Amino acid sequence: MVGDVRILPVAVLISGTGRTLRDLLKAVDEGRVPIDVRLVIASTPNASGLQYAEFMGIPAEVIERKDYDSSDAYSAAIYQRCKEIGAEYIIMAGFAIRLTIIPEFQNRVIGTHPALAPAFCGQGYFGRRVHEAVLEHGVKVTGCTVFFLDQEYNNGPVIIQKWIPVEPDDTVEKLEARVLKLETEALIEALQLLAENRIRVEGRRVRILPARPKQPTPA
């Protein structure tokens, strides 16, 4: 606890380079996000983000889907490890495999999507395919969504959304770069709100409570 802000113990799930993990750890060093990354779990030993986690001194391990008979069993193994290290929240940072959400972790698994949900969401919409679809449809704004995962793709309660205009000369690469930056900032903001205990989930709606007034410094 730092003042009125808790340090959130989290696990980060990756499948690739760990770009989001890098961004989060940089934000931790800069004092911009109050999290304690206790474990990194990768879905494949080929995830290069594992090496970065190890370089940063963070415990990292691989849990592969092929070693389990069902999605439920695979998810249970991940939850078990998260509970063992005391993680209160799980951050899906480019994790390519769907988790079954169990009651104990409802509204505790956080994901991001590089579009404004529910637009350009669902199975098949990931990575550059999202930005390709945005440009193909000719929409005027796009952005990112941070949400609590549920049992459907990109469908859980929305915590934060941020938007940017789609520029006339945008390419997939340009749009992807701008949305990625926005996505990181939105995730950091969501984690800060959780650490400040300012998020309330009411059905599908997430209510953001006002910030508590700062206490005057004693004379």
Q: Per-residue confidence at 123, pLDDT binned at 50, 70, 90?
A: confident
Place of tokens 């998260």: 82
What's the pTM? 0.92
pLDDT of residue 199: 97
Give 144-179 as a DSSP string.
EEEEE--SSTT-S-EEEEEEEEPPTT--HHHHHHHH
What digits encode the pLDDT tens for the residues 173-200?
999 999 999 999 999 999 999 999 999 9
Q: In degrees, to the nearest 5, what angle opens at C-alpha 18 toward C-alphas 43 and 95?
A: 35
Retrieve residue 160's tokens.
């934060």
Strands 8-14, 35-42: pairing kind: parallel
Retrieve residue 183's tokens.
């996505």
Catalytic residue among 113, 119, 156, 160: 113
What digits encode the pLDDT tens for the residues 30-87?
999 999 999 999 999 999 999 999 999 999 999 999 999 999 999 999 999 999 999 9
Between helix 19-29 and helix 172-195 the angle, nearest 10°, is 50
- Whether 131 sits among the annotated catalytic residues: the reply is no
